[in-house]
Amino acid sequence: MKQLPLFPDGPSFQPVVNVASVPQRSPFRYPGGKTWLVPVIRRWLTSLPQKPVEFIEPFAGGAIVGLTTAFEQLADHVTLVEVDSQVAAVWLTIIESGDGEWLAQQIEDFQFTPQRIQSLLEKTELSVREQALQTIVKNRINRGGILAPGAGKLKNGENGKGLASRWYPHTLRKRIVDIVKIRDRLTFVHGDGLAMLRQAAGLPDRAYFIDPPYTAAGKRPGNRLYMHHDLDHRELFTIVSTLTGDFLMTYDNNEHVTALAQEFGFDTRIVPMNNTHHARLTELLVGRDLSWLS
């Protein structure tokens, strides 16, 4: 039988992605999370003529890339931006408000029973730090970590061990406490990533990692994964073309995005990735000059 090539498009670059070399730093399990891309990000940032004074991640989500950059001091400072208020509550609590230790302790003490979970998830009118706890719990019990309305809940957890098999309070506590320790290297902004990019566009010595919700064309997976999925991708490309600093964008590998990148004179590379179901898919990297990948 004829063997079909795994990558019929012929990816121009195949990263050696050893995800085991990427410490899990984020308290989220995030849909569309980019842990697998971290080795590529390290390579990109260390290829720059000088260390960026600021690394800006305007669509932060679980922020594994920005966190790794801060922990490994691949930039002097890291600014994360996220519009979703559930996600923002977590980052505001850990990075901005000084309530990270409180959140870590609440997680450690939380009785992860169906009753306690339900009563926490039903609560409204919460303070930011209480909403952070609610978000972390929701992120653990919703299928795929999806926080958008309509997300299914896990029923049996892993290996039939029940929901509690999804709850790693010590690990989560440690991740949060570790981020608190380096929070002077981090800034979190609850707001619009496009506005942040416009504001920072003319500044020198910045680097931007841009991982937008993808809803430009095709199957529109972003619609069910994120509450905020509407984005004007042409507008994003227009702003990105005005950035003084270097940037790396990541998208689903899709003709529409490839055409947009060509129109703006950007460089593209197709890279293989594993999705959560371990199916081989390809992703498109977009940058000003991606020759550092070759």
User: Measured from the CB of residue 161, what is the shortest distance to ligand SAM in angstroms?
Assistant: 26
Residue bearing tokens 């270097």: 246
Q: Is residue 231 part of the contact set for ligand SAM (CB under 6 A)?
A: yes
Please give the C-alpha separations between residue 76 and each of 50, 73, 184, 185, 244, in angstroms, as whole numbers. Answer: 11, 6, 10, 7, 17
Residue bearing tokens 């195949």: 14
Only one of the segments 3-11, 32-40, 69-77, 129-137 lies at the binding site for ligand SAM (rule: CB under 6 A); that segment is 32-40
User: Measured from the CB of residue 246, what is the shortest distance to ligand SAM in angstroms?
Assistant: 17
How far is Cα 38 from Cα 34, in angstroms, rounded to an integer? 7
Only one of the segments 47-55, 63-71, 154-162, 171-179 lies at the binding site for ligand SAM (rule: CB under 6 A); that segment is 63-71
Q: Is residue 287 part of the contact set for ligand SAM (CB under 6 A)?
A: no
The alpha carbon of residue 206 and the mean position of all alpha carbons in its chain are separated, in whole angstroms, by 19
List the one residue from 52, 145, 213, 245 that touches ligand SAM (CB under 6 A).
213
List the one residue from 30, 91, 112, 188 that touches ligand SAM (CB under 6 A).
30
Q: Is residue 192 part of the contact set for ligand SAM (CB under 6 A)?
A: yes
Give Rg (Cα) of the chain.
Answer: 19
How far is Cα 283 from Cα 11, in angstroms, rounded to an integer? 10
Neighbour tally for 292: CB within 10 Å? 15
* Contact residues: ligand SAM, CB under 6 A: 30, 32-34, 58-59, 61-65, 81-84, 87, 192-194, 211-213, 226, 228, 231
